[in-house]
Amino acid sequence: MITIEIKAPYLIFVGGEKDITYAKTGSGMADWRPELCKGQISLVKDGIDLGLPNMTIREAAEAGVKSFVIGTASVGGGIPDAWLDIFEEALAAGLDIVGGVHKKLNSVPRLVDAAKKSGARLVDVRVPPADLPVGTGRKRTGKRVLMVGTDCAVGKKYTALAMERDMKKRGMNSNFRASGQTGIMIAGRGIPIDAVVADFLSGAAELLSPDNDPDHWDVIEGQGGIYHPGYSSVSMGLLVGSQPDAFVVCHEAGRDVIEGWDDFKLPSIEQVIERTISIGAQVNPDIKCVGVSVNTSKLSDDERNEYLSTLSKRLNLPCVDPMKDGTDAIIDNL
């Protein structure tokens, strides 16, 4: 499989940060993949605590850690000079460095040199693999459920991770498939779909969920939104390449316009369902919507219950907030 691959287990680097909201990647990894996170390392005494053991580079190497993962973002997305000494130490100890920051690890000569010396890798998760193919449309074995959104940033990644968790709890054979940088760091593999050259979009999406067992479900992280003025083509390429059997519409309660594109009304959930089926049917005629996942964090408990039950009646579909309800109702409908 030509995707980015991160070697486990991990040591999570949280820089000099003291506020956990700036370490979303690190906390996401500790939350969703605790079994792969051996420890954390900070540049300061009272740094962020992800609930993992503090480790030096040497301790991590001795504990079998394979990757030093940048779990925080610097202001501006760069790689501060203050990070470089410890990065070099990690590389010298044979640990790969994995990062999703804007600045490429592979563009920093000191790191490139250190990596060359030890044979460790610099893994930029924003950089798609080379030699991606054009999409074939060939039907693959196994089953797929794709997250689609009424907009960006409505909980598509969270919903997919929650579904994978809830499916595994039932003993179902399933994998979260990551199409964005944070998802890739959590999953340990994937392709940053939005960074792929247009001609290879659906081809890249096909690689994300390869042939599998007949009862296996790929739970695929969505990107963008099929009605988005900036990113709809990303969503379309992912939809066509994923050839999903099922999809979940993700939405944020109370959002009326496309965030950052305020002249554009948010599409209705019905519109998103209709267009997703219309386009997806070409590569999978059996495609169907199996539920709606709503971020209801802006609603009170009463409002939330009312909102979800009204929506569920209107659409005749299970509608849940995965943070509060889990995703069992949607999985029941697969």
Contact residues toward its own copies (CB under 8 A) are 134-138, 193-199, 201-203, 227, 229-234, 236-237, 240, 261, 263-264, 275, 278-279, 282-283
Q: Shortest approach of its own copies to residue 224 CB, angstroms?
A: 8
DSSP notation for 123-183: EETTSPPSSPPPP--PPPSSEEEEEEESSSSSSHHHHHHHHHHHHHHTT--EEEE--SHHH
By beta-carbon proximity to its own copies, the closer residue of 44 and 257 is 257
In the complex with its own copies, the residue whose CB is nearer, 17 or 194, is 194
Cα distance between residue 116 and residue 114, in whole Å:
5
**CA 192 distance to own-chain centroid:** 9
Closest distance between its own copies and the C-beta of residue 177, in Å? Answer: 17
CB of 138 to its own copies, least distance (A): 8
- How far apart CA 161 and CA 154 sit, in angstroms, is 14
The CB-of-136 to its own copies minimum distance in angstroms stands at 7
- From the CB of 208, what's the least distance to its own copies, in Å? 14
Alpha helix stretches (DSSP H) within 200-268: 201-208, 232-242
Q: Which is nearer to its own copies, 40 or 181 (CB)?
A: 181
Please report, as a single letter, which amino acid is at residue 97.
I
Q: Which is nearer to its own copies, 34 or 229 (CB)?
A: 229
Could you tell me which of 227, 294, 299 has the C-alpha nearest to residue 264?
227
Closest by Cα among 187, 190, 189, 163 to 179 = 190
Tokens 């959590």 belong to 186
In order of 7, 303, 325, the CA distances from 217 in angstroms are: 23, 33, 21
- Backbone dihedral angles phi then psi of residue 226, each to the nearest 5 degrees: -70, -10
Q: Which is nearer to its own copies, 98 or 201 (CB)?
A: 201
The conformation of residue 22, written as its DSSP 8-state character, comes to G
18 to 45, 84, 242: CA distances (angstroms)? 10, 19, 39
Smallest distance, its own copies to C-beta of residue 205, A: 9
Which is nearer to its own copies, 210 or 326 (by Cβ)? 210
Interior angle at CA 235, CA 232 and CA 238, nearest 5: 150
Shortest spacing between CB 3 and its own copies, in angstroms: 16
Q: Which is nearer to its own copies, 132 or 145 (CB)?
A: 132
- How far from chain centre, in Å, is Cα 24? 12
Q: Choose between 70 and 196: whose C-beta lies nearer to its own copies.
A: 196
Q: Least CB distance from residue 230 to its own copies, whole Å?
A: 4
